[in-house]
Amino acid sequence: AQSVTQPDIHITVSEGASLELRCNYSYGATPYLFWYVQSPGQGLQLLLKYFSGDTLVQGIKGFEAEFKRSQSSFNLRKPSVHWSDAAEYFCAVGGRGGADGLTFGKGTHLIIQP
Amino acid sequence: DVKVTQSSRYLVKRTGEKVFLECVQDMDHENMFWYRQDPGLGLRLIYFSYDVKMKEKGDIPEGYSVSREKKERFSLILESASTNQTSMYLCASSFSHSGNNEQFFGPGTRLTVL
């Protein structure tokens, strides 16, 4: 069965500092990987996705993520965070079929210190 | 832009009531999904549908049913609401063809069962 682990429940980062959110997955085939962000009281917004090709993917809002097959990881990074990045971040894994549901991690709550 | 709308942002119901949560998408997506989101548990898939009148159980279908009479509309039904169904409910939709199973989310319905 597929699964996603986000080991950090909460992370606190100073504004302007770099950020890395960890994601490890378990999937039997080549995975499709996603990072979503949820601002307070809102639905989920897609930050970026990996389907194939270049293992470093660029997303919106200055985020990027790197797929490392050997480590079963898909960590999210940003070189300099802004106060508006404070939110809940979810990593998800899915299969090739469009009808397949996604399996989500439990989320990482990002707090930005001034 | 893809738009997924949910009928209510906030809903308060009493134990034993029948509850309908409605979701509509405007992008002609084949697949639609219902998740519930609880603190510390992330998103858990309740039901999904890959076509009109088709439905599949997700990870936690107990106590819920769904209806999809039209392609753009997917309803979640709580036959007899209980307090442990107090949660945030998120609807999502996606295309069906292989290679693109990105899900688009609605803003969520926060349901409180008293």
For the ranges A2-6, A98-102, B11-15, B74-78, the lowest mean pLDDT is seen at A98-102
Residue A32 C-alpha, separation from nearest chain B C-alpha, in angstroms: 8
Question: With contacts defined as CB-CB under 8 Å, which chain B residues touch A44?
Answer: 43, 90, 92, 105
Q: Among the residues of chain A, which ranges form H helices? A: none
Q: What is the mean pLDDT of chain B?
A: 92
| Tokens describing residue A73 | 């990881």
pLDDT attached to residue A41 = 77
pLDDT attached to residue B111 = 97
Any bridge partners for residue B12, and if so which?
Answer: B112
- CB B111 within 8 Å of CB A65: no
Q: Write the CA distances from A48 to A63, A84, B16, B90, integer angstroms.
A: 8, 18, 41, 20
Average pLDDT over residues A1-11: 92
Question: With contacts defined as CB-CB under 8 Å, which chain A residues touch B8?
Answer: none
CB contact under 8 A, B99 and A104: no
pLDDT tier at A97, thresholds 50, 70, 90? low
In chain B, the residue whose alpha carbon lies closest to the alpha carbon of A51 is B99
Residue B5 C-alpha, separation from nearest chain A C-alpha, in angstroms: 10
- What would the pLDDT profile of B74-105 be if each residue is shown by its tens digit? 999 999 999 999 999 999 998 876 556 788 99
- What would the pLDDT profile of A19-73 be if each residue is shown by its tens digit? 999 999 998 777 889 999 999 878 899 999 998 888 999 999 999 999 999 999 9
- What would the pLDDT profile of B40-53 be if each residue is shown by its tens digit? 888 999 999 988 99
Radius of gyration of chain A (CA): 14
Share of chain A above pLDDT 70, in %: 95
